[in-house]
Amino acid sequence: MEDIHISPETVGEAGVENEVLVVPEALDEIFRNKDLVVKEPFTVHYVVEREKDSEDIHVGVDVQGEIETFCARCLETMTYPVDLHLETSYMPASPEMSKNLEEERTSSATGYYRKTIRLGDYIASELVLALPLRFICDEQCKGLCPECGANLNREECRCGGKPVDPRLQKLSELKEKIRKE
Ligand SMILES: [Zn+2]
Ligand SMILES: [Zn+2]
């Protein structure tokens, strides 16, 4: 995605609109997580507009695609749809800013540019931030029985799923203690 660049000079009153495909290999580079598999290219659609009589550039981005992964509760494979909308503005960088202007960002809403806007870098970092920490196949997913490992979405579990009675647990701990003393 590094190659999605915009030259603000070329953005006139009418703005610029474009759509690019990002190949799975490039997305693997961004996610750096072998549990996330991308099979089809992602679509990145963006609209660039110049604010009237200004050097500020506004960009709207839509990213769409699918990630194959597995549910953190039931461990079944699942498809996670990516449908991300981003809005950001770019202002001319001041001379004392570093070469890596993405690092100069203080919020996702405002970035900086010199000759070109490195839109791909911004999209890549926002994409990573937008991913959930844990992928869940369904909010209602019941997960696996912690006792016998049965998938509780599909079957009644073999052990009855009853957690050990805390009072019995205490009693057995006590017995254990007595035996040791
Ligand atoms: Zn699940
Ligand atoms: Zn069970």
pLDDT score for 99: 86
- Structure tokens belonging to residue 150: 């049965």
pLDDT one digit per residue (tens) for the chain, 181 residues: 778 999 988 888 889 999 999 999 999 999 999 999 999 999 999 999 998 888 899 999 999 999 999 999 999 999 999 999 999 999 999 999 988 888 888 888 899 999 999 999 999 999 999 999 999 999 999 999 988 889 999 998 878 756 555 555 666 566 667 666 6
Of all ligands present, the nearest one to the C-alpha of 76 is: 1
Task: Report how far ligand 1's centroid is from the alpha carbon of 55 (Å).
Answer: 48
Ligand nearest to the backbone CA of 73: 1
What is residue 9's predicted lDDT score, i.e. its pLDDT? 87
**131 Cα: distance to centroid of ligand 1 (angstroms):** 17
The values of phi and psi at residue 50, to 5°, are: -100, 135
Q: Could you tell me what percentage of the chain is helix, strand and coil, using 3-state DSSP and rounding each to the nearest 5?
A: 25, 30, 45
b or e along 88-97 (b: 16 or more beta carbons within 10 Å of the residue's beta carbon)?
bebeebeeee
Q: Are strands 110-113 and 16-22 parallel, antiparallel or unpaired?
A: unpaired
Contact predicate 105/124, CB 8 Å: no
Question: How many residues comprise the chain?
Answer: 181
pLDDT at 67: 98
Give me 142's structure tokens.
Answer: 């019941």
Rounded to two decimals, the pTM is: 0.80
What is the per-residue pLDDT for 167?
A: 59
